[in-house]
Amino acid sequence: MDAARYARIRDLFLAAEELPADQQQKFVRSHCNGDDSLFDEVMSLLAEHDAEFAKIEGESATPVSAPISSPTQIGSAFGEITKTGPAGSDLTRETDPGTKSGPGTKSGPVSKRSGDTTRRGDSQNQTRRGEIEALPGRGRSGGSAAVTRHGANRTHASPRVKQEERRKHQSTSNQIWARRTRNSRRRNSGWLWLAALLPTALIGWWTYREVESMIEQSIRTELRGVINSVAISADRFLGDKATLVESWSREPNLRAAVIELNELAETGQSIDELRSSKQIGRIHQQLKQLSGVEDVKFIVWNDSFRTLASWSEDRADIGKPVHPSGAANLARVMAGETVIYGPERPAADLPGFDPSAEQPVMAVIVPIHDSDGRIIASLMVRGIGIYEAFNAVFSDVIEVGQLDAFAINRDGVMLNASGRALGLATRGLLDVGPNDIAANLRVSDPGYLLSRTNQGAFQRQFRPVTVAVAGAVGIRPDIQTAPYSTYYGGSVVGAWRWLDKWNMGVIVEQEADQAFAPVRVVRFAFLLLGSLLSLTAFLAATKLARTSTAEHAANHPLSRYDIQEQLGSGGMGVVFKAVHKQLGRDAALKVLRGDRHSAEDGLRFDREARLAASLSNPHSVQIYDYGRSEEGEAYCVMEFLRGLTLNEVVARSGYQAIGRMLTVMRQVCDALAEAHSMNLLHRDIKPQNIMLSLDPSVGDWAVVFDYGLAKPLEPDAGVYQTSETIWAGTPMYMAPERFRQPGVMDPRSDIYSVGCVAYYLLSGRPPFIESDPESLFALILSEHPIGIAIHRGEEVPKEISELVFRCMSKRPEDRFGTIGELCQVIDQLRMKYPWSIDEAKVWWGHHGGN
């Protein structure tokens, strides 16, 4: 589909949309001049168009002030286009008060400058516009000046409702669960009236079973949310630590010292000469500077698994082979993996460790590459507080949810100091002391041996592991509400997951008595009901109806969240800021709109959630939970993103440093690399869909969100597929081939969009700015953007310009073949154009405020 055909489809749609439904087909047929394909496309759009929804969305557009440097925004195929002018100009857009959003949008695009109003577009555009106005039902629109923002941002990053309307939306959203409860009461009142005629014993028995089932479902839902949260937190923590130490291993001075030390060993230097080499001191000094820890500890092994360097002052371990227990980990590292060691309690004969340390040892082991990219050594770093922070990940869950949470290894040994285990050990109710729990206590069912503390520690090793440990080690993630015995002999319910990447499992447990306390209350109520046999059947039915209603409201899947405010509204759902009542964690809660509960809308909503949930990269927005209530209400709980979009970053400080652009683009590529590896295209990469925040440990942290337009490269019968007769996405960041063949899926289209975002960061402007759709499409299809140096007013290194413009090549085959290939080039350039944590902190200190 070219720009001319697109314009023809749009114009016929706008003209026919105003006619009565029974006249539309005849009108379109008469203006298609025998083109059946054109007729089918226009009629398809008219069939899918919801005029009432378009009117509502158009009336709810948010007035905003347009910054001088803001980019062209095209919210949908027929949405608005805002053009920015040179510095000092004030370009706004006049819209009709009755403007509609979506395919039915109608507007008279005009621009203001210094108080004079002129119509945009050349004579060709005016002629075409006049032809359409001559069609039946097509008139000119006029109205007061206003800048509107429509559907370009479809997630919680950009509110789409007026600030003065938020209170109204918030109060309405808080009634969701109450409204569902009232509906449930009306549905249940009928059978309760009939059930009141049955014997009181039968009513009580039925009520008790139903309440017990609902409470069990509530426990299951709660455990699922907590175990998902713990697994995500532990995985993200370990990933962050691994990434941090990997970045240290690439530091030029440290890497050079390791390479030199390895060369000394290979040339046959004696052990004494190696121990006295100055490179060991350089490595230690570099790690102190990078970690900020004076007592940082390290060991370097060569590819023969012999020690080349360590933090030990006497350097007695230099030249000695690694302990046999660590050979497997070093083999993985030499194969290119990053390994998290521990938590473990080192054996007394393990060189380089102090077995008398009270806390278990936890370290990161990373490969060291030479200048040719060959792995020549392994670097282990510890003593930087990894274990303490790892233990805190589980302690936070205990404090918030009053649960027991801990990690285990494949042997079923508890890796952290569980809060409940600490409490029991302190009171002498466990067969180990408080300081001997972590990396020592085997999570097995002690049975009757728990009371025999003299033999408990020994006998525990021969007892079977608990149900949760067996399930986790067997990589069978599950949630069990049937009580089972845990490591201290108590009866619990729990959930577990295995983190295969880190070779550990996580378990969350709650005492069964505490979990099922409401059941005992219901049982007591049942007994009390038996003493009220003198009451009439009607009074009994009324009492049961009220009880059922309260329980139903309390167990609604979304009742666990406290709604704070409405963040935005899109074509499919409404997004709220919410707080999990038990965990105290902020989240973005997306609920399918009340007028979008058709089967097709539900499938589309499911598709977006399933595609986004399949991604686990920390630079992609995370999905915490998804499901439907008993009434069929679809919802999705997402990570709540804080920070600024790249669009806001540029609006606040103009074009960005080269090093910062490379850092941000590398993180975006990480997210896309995972998506592409799963045959999934994002299709809407743009500054408004990338959130940037400050992470104190790594500096700038970018997260890609809004996978609403994501689509698999190959059709999947198990996933609902959308069929497009028009382009999906934001045109100014879309690859040329997407305009020509919207249905063709190619990962290099995302690479083009990445290049456009890089251009935007370096120049402070989008690559193409044009108010007329046809002119914009023509520019993207045939023209090259203005040089970056012209916008910046300074020279830009040739290698940087070549990187950006190669991504933005018109022909896909001229771009980088894969995201991985682009990542390699960016990694090489980042060494030459660094962007430090301190630089990021300075920027956020100056520009990051509200």
The Cα 564–Cα 50 span in angstroms is 30
Instruction: Return the H-helix or E-strand segment holding 638.
Output: strand 634-639
DSSP string, 686-751: -GGGEEEEEETTTEEEEEE---TT-EESS--TTS-----SS--S-GGGS-HHHHH-TT---HHHHH
Question: What DSSP character marks residue 836?
Answer: -
Question: Is the bond leading into 736 cis (omega within 30 degrees of zero)?
Answer: no
Instruction: Return the H-helix or E-strand segment holding 310.
Output: strand 307-310
The Cα 230–Cα 224 span in angstroms is 10
What are the distances in angstroms from CA 102 to CA 80, 112, 361, 730, 800? 9, 25, 58, 13, 38
Q: Which two tokens stand for residue 194?
A: 């009939």
- Collapsing DSSP to helix, strand or coil, 761 comes out as helix
Q: Which two tokens stand for residue 780?
A: 């993207």
Q: Where are the beta strands (DSSP E) in 370-436?
A: 375-382, 404-408
Q: Among positive and negative, which fits the CA dihedral 153, 155, 161, 162?
A: negative
Choose among 179, 209, 206: nearest CA to 195.
Answer: 206
The Cα 497–Cα 474 span in angstroms is 10
The Cα 208–Cα 213 span in angstroms is 9
Binding residues: 590
Q: Which two tokens stand for residue 306?
A: 């012999």
Choose among 694, 688, 691, 712: nearest CA to 702.
Answer: 691
Helices (H), 501-595: 512-515, 517-530, 537-554
Instruction: Please write down the long-range contacts of 815-822, taking CB distance under 8 Å and 24 or more positions apart.
Output: 815/748, 815/751, 815/752, 815/755, 816/748, 816/751, 817/748, 818/676, 818/747, 819/669, 819/672, 819/673, 819/676, 819/747, 819/750, 819/751, 820/673, 822/669, 822/751, 822/754
Cβ 444 vs Cβ 438: under 8 Å: no
Q: Cα angle vertex 506, ends 505, 508, to 5°?
A: 150
The Cα 508–Cα 826 span in angstroms is 41
- Collapsing DSSP to helix, strand or coil, 145 comes out as strand
586-592, strands of its sheet edge to edge: 561-569, 573-580, 586-592, 634-639, 623-628
Find tokens 């069964």 and name the residue: 512
Binding residues for ATP: 590
Crossing angle, helix 278-291 and helix 252-266, to 10 degrees? 150
